[in-house]
A and B are shown apart, each in its own frame.
Chain A
Amino acid sequence: MTFRIFFPIIILIAFSISISAQSNNETLKIFGYFQNQFEDSGNPRTDERRNSFLLQQLNLFLQRDFQLKWSAFVNFELVNSFSSADRYGAFKLEEAWIKYRYDKRLQVRLGLQIPTFNHLNLLKNRTPLLPYVTRPLVYEESLEDIIVIEEYIPSIAFAQTYGVLPLGSAKFDYAVYLGNSPNLSTLDDRGRSGADTTRTFLVGSRFGVRYQDLKTGISLTHDKVNRFMELALQVGDTLPALEEMQRIRLGFDLEYRLGAFVFNGEYIGVFYDEPTELARFDKSFFYGTLGWQLTEPLMVYGSIWQTRTYENRQAAPGDVNPRPLSQFQTTVQSTSVGLVYQMNDRVRLKGQFVNLDQSNDSPRFTAGTDFQIYSAAISVTF
């Protein structure tokens, strides 16, 4: 009789202890960061300037760890002072994944996620980790309406396995992932589902080595692109000519620390297998940043980045038979200097001067597209 009464009580107590322990270790964590900025920009030749305050970015994370080796992570991102009422800015679900961590050698993430590509792709949205106010162009999410970032870097993957393997006194990092091709349904009349419209996948990887203060790696993605089918009509080719065009993105990244100095650099080459000589889509990007940690909280840096793209233009606008296209190479180059001051573990103050210079080998191109940006920002982690 006593056993009958006490056994359920013991079970209940044991169960409640288990629940309590679980809830201590498995609480839902809510955290994030935001970066507000002030920017004064303009063309120094024309003296036309503008200035503006902006909530450049706010990210809100939800994370829950459970059963020792599992965790779930959600990342909401709002950019450019998002306001649905005023129809500016953007709000998107950046990540929503579940991770299984066997140990540091083998981890698997499933769900919407940012794939590993070069050093900066995973960190590009983590503004508190970066010294920049304006990031190197292909990583600047807030300029996504000006430049198609995904032309250079993979934005989304859905399955990724990664880990760290010991390699003598060095470490070998690897990541292999799978995602959609970039040909997603964005047709309004079909509800902009975001579903892949092709039978091809994005396949990508990064393999890297860390040794003492050196970190380097190479990245590679392969996918097929439909984006240029419109151009096929312009050049009089049949649609399949530019359909599912093979694209390879190749990346190389390097980070080296020497005393108070740190160098970060990257190269990205985007190579298309064009079926026609009438159009060329290859592009490239590199950046290099040298930082100097003057004191524990203060770092100054100088940075340079450059993009090279081809523009495929009609020989004469409005020409009904526009063959051949004219191809012009456009180079956008930025040099910048800046500083970041870490007030405490949560707050960073940033300042940056950027000089942008665009050039084009088109005979109609006229010089004078310099652009200068003075900016200051406060980056807060909460």
Chain B
Amino acid sequence: MRLIQSLIIGSVLFLSAAYGQVAVVAHKSVPVKQLSKSELFDIYAGETQLWEGDLPIQVYDLKSQEDTKKMFYRFIGKSISRMKSIWMVNMLSGEGDPPKTVVNEEEMIKLILETPGAIGYLPKALVHDSLNVLLLIE
């Protein structure tokens, strides 16, 4: 059963990567329906730390350097190493923590569903109704 599940997810990831579609998703509690590129950068760079209504933003990032992650950061306009550098500056200056790293897309979905204020990104094919889709990256 687990093998079939992994095969399905693997196929979906492969097709998503091939068609290059990434969705920026958030917990249903997030009081925002869409985000611009600059707003998304501000959230991932730690400049924006609260949603409207003072709901804390919890940012998630994929650990693997696969196509989804590369496409996400290409859209933001910064390399992964540049983002890591920004997070390190924030952390060592007391300005904020880096995003929490998740091992794979399954964990990303699980944590976003569980965590009010959470935001992350996924292959579009894995998005379902329980998630709040803020942006589609083609």
Contacts and interface: CB of A to CB of B under 8 A. Distances in A.
Contacts of B91: 31
- Chain B interface size, as a band, is 20 to 34
B56 A104 contact: no
Given A68-B50, A164-B47, A345-B84, A129 B42 contact: no
B85 interface: yes
A134 B88 CA distance: 20
A336 to B, nearest CB: 21
Contact of B48 (A61, A69, A73, A104): A104
B42 A104 contact: yes
A296 interface: yes
B54 interface: yes
B56 A126 contact: no
A293 B88 contact: no
Contact of A63 (B42, B48, B49, B94): B94
Interface in A66-96: 68-69, 71, 73, 75, 95
A212 B41 CA distance: 12
Given A68-B50, A103-B50, A164-B47, A126 B93 contact: yes
B77 to A, nearest CB: 8
A61 B92 contact: yes
B89 interface: yes
Contact of B92 (A25, A33, A169): A33
Contacts of A103: 48, 50
Given A68-B54, A104-B47, A293-B81, A129 B88 contact: yes
A17 interface: no
B74 to A, nearest CB: 14
A293 B48 CA distance: 28
Contacts of B85: 129
- Chain A interface size, as a band, is 20 to 34
A128 interface: yes
Interface in B26-71: 38, 42, 47-50, 54, 56
Interface centre among A97, A212, A345 (most CB of B within 10 A): A345
A110 to B, nearest CB: 13
Interface in A279-299: 293, 296-297
A103 B54 CA distance: 10
Contacts of A214: none
A73 B93 CA distance: 9
Contact of B94 (A61, A293, A296, A381): A61
Nearest to B56: A68
Interface string A26-62: 0001010100000000000000000000000000010
Interface in A113-166: 122-123, 126, 128-129, 164
Nearest to A113: B94
A293 B84 CA distance: 14
A99 interface: yes
A31 B93 CA distance: 12
Nearest to B79: A296
Interface of A: 25, 29, 31, 33, 61, 63, 68-69, 71, 73, 75, 95, 97, 99, 101, 103-104, 122-123, 126, 128-129, 164, 169, 212, 293, 296-297, 342, 345, 381
Given A128-B88, A345-B84, 14 more contacts: A61-B92, A63-B94, A69-B50, A71-B94, A73-B94, A95-B94, A99-B94, A104-B49, A126-B92, A128-B92, A129-B85, A129-B92, A293-B81, A381-B92
24 contacts: A25-B56, A61-B92, A68-B50, A69-B50, A69-B54, A71-B94, A73-B94, A101-B49, A103-B48, A103-B50, A104-B48, A104-B49, A126-B89, A126-B92, A128-B88, A129-B85, A129-B88, A129-B92, A164-B47, A169-B38, A296-B80, A297-B81, A381-B88, A381-B92
